[in-house]
Chains A and B, each alone.
Chain A
Amino acid sequence: MFIVTGASKGLGKAICLRLIKNNKKVLGLARDTKNLPFKSLNCDISSTEEIRSIVRIVRKQKLNITGIINAAGIASMNLALTTPSVTTEKIVQTNLLGTIYCCQLFAPFLVRNKNGTIINFSTIAVSLGLKGESIYAASKAGVESFSRAFAREMADFNISVNCIAPGPIKTDLIRGVSQKQVEKIISNQIIQKQFTPESVCDLVEILIDKRAKTLSGQVFHIGGV
């Protein structure tokens, strides 16, 4: 079974549906999981207490966790100088700390099996240093650094840890970004087209395949940068 955070919309939901389509079991986590068509639980991943409560449920139900996909994330496209501190804290708390907390608290399930896959999510904004995304990019740069080092810590247990760094995928996350800005970002990709959640799901499927066991500590850019 795969734990997928951010399961109520965007990439997280698309990944859940793809996994289910391919006969994989999924436990989706999101702040509001109402009406989701798969097994899911409410969880705000910025809270260690809420994650711990999920850990208790997983242990109690003896669910066999084989992978963790940390797709939950928030964005706020603003200049750093005009971003309120509360927004900065929220972005770092959810994107960076939330990812770290989920890795810390869910990874022991994989450690017990001495097998598993962890996929975290970064962004093209890290490698391009996009104007107006400095705080978002900083939080995701932290995710990339954490993932590289965590991959070494988990390698002893036959667990791979990788990052997927999408460009401007058509989801709610970029609804505040103008088409002109999207096109400008895409022009920096090696493959200059806007990709869909399906492309991200394809890469997730590759990374969870046992034939991808040689890949760990890597950041994969959708479209290339």
Chain B
Amino acid sequence: MNDIQKVEGIVLQEIKNVSEIKKSVINKRTRLIGNDSILDSMKLVELCLSLTDIAEELGFEFDWTSDKAMSTSRSMFKDAGSLSNEFLRQWKNN
């Protein structure tokens, strides 16, 4: 398993945990913001806090307030895949 697969596994699991939705319907293309998001704003914050804790265990700080968080087209929260990519990017850049 390569790094991105490992991170995707972590992120999908955390989305599952906070959304309380079965894992089978959560994948890389699962939307996290916008009208078809599976998370409301409260759940999105909870997801960020969970990932912050995991990042701390991995030895880096996960910054979910970066400029990339807000852009609609390239937001890290666009979908589970983009969030995984950004999480991995911050981990590797640590």
Q: Which residues from chain A contact B41 at a C-beta distance below 8 Å?
A: 153, 156
Which residue from B42, B52, B56, B61 sits with its C-beta under 8 Å from A108?
A: B52
Q: Which residue of B lies closest to A107 (CB)?
A: B45
How long is the Cα–Cα vector from A153 to B45 in the complex, in angstroms? 10
Please determine whether A156 and B65 come into contact, CB atoms closer than 8 angstroms.
Answer: no
Report the interface size class on chain A: 10 to 19
Least Cβ distance of A7 to chain B in Å?
24
Chain B nearest CB, measured from A111 CB (Å)? 6
Number of A-B contacts defined by CB within 8 Å: 17
Smallest CB separation, A48 vs chain B (Å): 9
Chief secondary structure at chain B's binding surface: helix
Instruction: Specify the main secondary structure of chain A where it touches its partner.
Output: helix
A112 at interface, CB cutoff 8 A: yes
Say yes or no: A156 contacts B49, CB within 8 Å: no
CB contact under 8 A between A112 and B49, given known A153-B41, A156-B42: yes
Residue in B closest to A52 when the chains form the complex, CB atoms: B61
Residues on B with beta carbons closer than 8 Å to the beta carbon of A153? 41
CA distance A65 to B3 in the complex (A): 35
Identify which of residues 23-45 in chain B touch chain A, using a CB-to-CB cut-off of 8 Å: 41-42, 45
| Listed A/B pairs (17) with beta-carbon separation below 8 Å | A56-B61, A59-B56, A104-B65, A105-B65, A108-B45, A108-B48, A108-B49, A108-B52, A111-B45, A111-B46, A111-B49, A112-B49, A153-B41, A156-B41, A156-B42, A157-B42, A157-B45
Chain B residues in contact with chain A, CB under 8 A? 41-42, 45-46, 48-49, 52, 56, 61, 65
